[in-house]
Amino acid sequence: MKSVEDLLAEGVSGRRVLVRSDLNVPLDGSTITDDGRVRAALPTIERLADAGAKVIVAAHLGRPKGAPDPRYSLAPVAERLGELLGAEVRLAGDVVGEQARSVAASLADGQVALLENVRFDPRETSKTESDRAELAGELAALTADAAGGPGGAFVSDGFGVVHRKQASVYEVARELPAYAGGLVLAELEVLGRLTGEPARPYVVVLGGSKVSDKLAVISALLPKVDSLLIGGGMAFTFLAAQGHDVGGSLLESDFVDTAKRLLDEHGDRIVLPVDVVVAEAMTEDVEVRTVPSDAIPAAWKGLDIGPNSVRRFSEVIAGAGTVFWNGPAGVFELAPFSGGTRGVAQAIVDSDAFSVVGGGDSAAAVRLLGLPEDGFSHISTGGGASLEYLEGKDLPGVSVLEEND
């Protein structure tokens, strides 16, 4: 596929370049609580602007229902992006309407503008291809030069959305000369190492709330890994499959039989918690206990893995050649239940392994818990995209770039 380096070599000065970034940041009201995705998007945007491109950034935030919703406005993102760039980033008040056309047309060389949340337009996520293609055509039109100058281009740099067949990800790459951004290329290179010949032992750490969310990747990875460490809420379905009473812990009863089958087939590779931190409620000031994983009191909820589990997981991680981690070990946002995630993450930092943090809550935990980001070989920006890549699924936003090679 063609890269942003190829585009820069062709020359971008004076050209309008549409960049699809992933700026889906967590907000507390209008305050960004983790700007990791904004910072990750910065290098490609900055390089294009420094080379004289008129940069138009498209992105989404949250899941608005195909209509403007002030809760999901990209205004805080435009402000933060401007701070990081050291220059104003104008926010268009719509996606492809009059304001977007006006802002795009008024850009000077080297300036950056941000379109309003692309998911405010229902065509972005429409299941009808013609709807998506229509929006893609209007996005592409924003890059046109009314004076007949050099045509526009599209740079796909939002790895967190390349697994979606959406207008600003897929169809627009068929409307304009399309290039892979630096972030997308870096993600693909790292994940390629995991699916190729990873250094052994290859250890995968999975957490998060639900087995159902990660069943496909578990099934795909188990034949390939040396150890699969399972924490978070999803561990309780596996503990139930071993015949343990999990009290009031999160349990997906419909998947207990599946978990039992996986344990029967790959039990020598699956490592489960041996103790858990439990409480009667998920609050900051609640009474907590640490109990063996087969002795959870009735009505108490398992909300983190315990210290013995952390030690057990850490021993496996310490000997690893490659580690992929996706999903927290507990409810890390609350101090009483953050020890498991912190302990596992610290073990990865302390190891000599090539380590990849699989985006999403894991990446947020690294920053929230104050762990050194440079302690990991790579922190992905795309949790879902990373998992689908490891499952072996086609990523439409990548495939369409390969078509344009």
Is residue 403 domain-resident? no
Range of the domain at 61: 4-181
Model pLDDT for residues 304-360, shown as the tens digit of each residue: 999 999 999 999 999 999 999 999 999 999 999 999 999 999 999 999 999 999 877
> Is there a binding annotation on residue 360?
yes
Share of the chain above pLDDT 90, in %: 86
* Other Cβ atoms within 10 Å of 38 Cβ, number: 22
Q: For the domain that residue 276 is a member of, what is the CATH number? A: 3.40.50.1260
Q: Is the pLDDT of residue 4 over 70?
A: yes
> Is there a binding annotation on residue 361?
yes
The amino acid at residue 248 is G
Among the candidates 158, 181, 204, a domain finishes at: 181
Tokens of 206: 């999975």
Model pLDDT for residues 136-153, shown as the tens digit of each residue: 999 999 999 865 667 899
For the chain, how far is it from start to end, CA to CA, in angstroms?
5
Model pLDDT for residues 260-271, shown as the tens digit of each residue: 999 999 999 999
Residue 9 shares a structural domain with residue 133: yes
Q: Is the pLDDT of residue 364 over 90?
A: no
Residue 139 shares a structural domain with residue 170: yes
Residue 126 phi/psi, 5-degree rounding, is -60, 145
> Is there a binding annotation on residue 23?
yes
Cα–Cα distance, 311 to 106 (Å, whole number): 58
Tell me the C-alpha to C-alpha distance, in Å, between residue 209 and each of 134, 247, 346, 357.
38, 16, 21, 17
> Is there a binding annotation on residue 301?
no
3-state secondary structure of 275: strand
Domain count, the chain: 2
Is residue 396 domain-resident? no
| Inter-residue contact 313 to 347 (CB < 8 Å) | yes
Residues annotated as catalytic are 37, 210, 360, 384
> Is there a binding annotation on residue 119?
yes
Cα–Cα distance, 14 to 145 (Å, whole number): 9
> Is there a binding annotation on residue 37?
yes
Model pLDDT for residues 218-268, shown as the tens digit of each residue: 999 999 999 999 999 999 999 999 999 999 999 999 999 999 999 999 999
> Is there a binding annotation on residue 333?
yes
Tell me the C-alpha to C-alpha distance, in Å, between residue 365 and each of 16, 33, 327, 401, 403.
37, 12, 9, 32, 36
Cα–Cα distance, 35 to 29 (Å, whole number): 14
DSSP 108: P
**pLDDT at residue 148, rounded to an integer:** 62
Tokens of 125: 């996520």
Residue 40 shares a structural domain with residue 138: yes
**pLDDT at residue 149, rounded to an integer:** 66
Tokens of 142: 């924003």
pTM value is 0.90
Helix, strand, coil percentages for the chain (3-state, nearest 5): 40, 15, 40
Among the candidates 155, 181, 207, a domain finishes at: 181
Q: Is the pLDDT of residue 278 over 70?
A: yes
Q: Is the pLDDT of residue 207 over 90?
A: yes
Average pLDDT (272-287) is 95
Average pLDDT (286-293) is 96
Tokens 């046109």, located at residue: 144
Residue 244 phi/psi, 5-degree rounding, is -85, 145
Among the candidates 147, 181, 215, a domain finishes at: 181
* Other Cβ atoms within 10 Å of 32 Cβ, number: 17
**pLDDT at residue 170, rounded to an integer:** 98
> Is there a binding annotation on residue 63?
yes
43 pLDDT band, cuts 50/70/90, is very high
Residue 381 shares a structural domain with residue 282: yes
Residue 160 shares a structural domain with residue 234: no
| Inter-residue contact 93 to 34 (CB < 8 Å) | no
Mark out the alpha helices in 160-234 (DSSP H runs): 182-195, 211-221
**pLDDT at residue 210, rounded to an integer:** 85
